[in-house]
Amino acid sequence: MATELDAVQSPDGETLYVDRSDAEVGAQAPFFVVYATPDRLDRWGFFCGNCESTDTAMDTMGRIECNVCGNVRKPDEWDAAHE
């Protein structure tokens, strides 16, 4: 049985759907997976559990950062040369 999704608004006014059962650990709070449609077919991005913003970014190494509050998830793999 799938959990119910929470509808939220993007900064552009688009309705998005947060799955609070699917999360990535962040430094201040989890990042929840966000979908563009309620059927979970079109993954949109992440929702910051700290400030409840969809204004987040992910880099090519898997690091997620909230552009509003600075909550961050460390990358899955990293290279010290990028520091």
Domain ranges of the chain: 6-76
The pLDDT value given to residue 75: 84
Q: What is the spatial distance between Cα 43 and Cα 36, in angstroms, rounded to a whole number? A: 6
The pLDDT value given to residue 11: 85
pLDDT tops 90 at residue 80: no
Which H/E stretch holds residue 70?
none
The pLDDT value given to residue 58: 94
Backbone angles phi and psi of 65, in degrees to 5: -135, 135
Q: What angle do CA 6, 41, 63 make, to 5 degrees?
A: 75
The pLDDT value given to residue 50: 98
Give pTM, 2 decimals: 0.86
pLDDT, tens digit, for every residue of 41-69? Answer: 999 999 999 999 999 999 988 999 999 99
CB 50 within 8 A of CB 28: yes
Q: What secondary structure does DSSP assign to 14-32, as a single string? A: -EEEEEEEEEE--SSS-EE
